[in-house]
Each structure stands twice: as structure tokens, then as C-alpha cells.
Structure 1
């Protein structure tokens, strides 16, 4: 008997099965075409699945494109020193 899915907490995503069809279904049409082309000529299908599965999982998080664009442009970055200062007990 299948166990019903529990509601997701904010920021959580459902796991995508690591199969060609599940990954393809989770990708945008443009990415899906590139993924399918790579799978059809892959010498190492596991490596292709690993890379595209991670991409499909990260695409589920809203705002990914903006975060990637901002990071590549150097916007909104936090220094390691600032992160360490936040972690220090007060």
C-alpha cells in the first residue's frame, strides 16, 4: 500500500526519481531537449543522470534563475567572515 505524501514545509521539494523519464519530466522544454540529446549519446549514462538530476532538483526551488544571475553578477554575496560572525555564540 502506498503511503500518502505529507504536505511540504516551506522551502522543501519532492524528490525526483533518478530515471531518464522522471528527470525529463521535471526539466523545462529547453533543458529537456539538451538532456535527452546527452542521454542518447552518453558513454557514461550515470554521470549524465547525476548532473541533470541535480539540475532538475534545484529547478524546483522558486527563484533559482534570479539567484544564479545575481551570483554570477556578484550581487548579494556574503563573505565568509560575515557568515562566521553570525555563527559565533554571543
Structure 2
């Protein structure tokens, strides 16, 4: 079975990348809304729990280039974490099948 540390790390990473993507998408959608201030956040490492996304105070206009980069990075990071989870699960399944 996948260790609880590995599971927590992957799930934490998936959740954090989801929040990054949500923030970027919200900023992109509201880029032309008068008075809207870009939402921000920071990814932080959490020992034994992967990563977390900490919201920061809104600040300034939306930088569409930065938001597209954030969205792209979040998408790639999410896909990598999901692939790692899938690979670990498949490896464990094969190991258990070989014992049967």
C-alpha cells in the first residue's frame, strides 16, 4: 500500500496546484473588471504533507502573461503529481499480484 507520507505529499501537491490554477483563472476572468486587484498566493513546502497554497493580499492589476505562466505551471505540476500517484499505485498492484 502507498505510504501515508507519500499519499499526503501527493494529495497536498494536487490540492495546492488546484488552488494555483483557480487563482490564475479567477484573475484572468476578472482582468478587465474595473477596480479588481489580482489575487495572489504562494506555494509553501509542508514537511510530510507536500505543499500548500497560502493566499496573500490582493495587489495591483492582473498581469495576463504571469497568470498564463502560473496556469501552465500548475497544470504541468498537477499532471506530474497525478502520474506519480498512478505509477505508485500500479507498481503496488503488480507487487501484490506477484504474491498471489
Give the TM-score taking structure 1 as reference length. 0.29
Instruction: Identify the structure with the greater strand proportion.
Output: 2
Structure number with greater CO (CA < 8 Å, separation at least 6) is 2
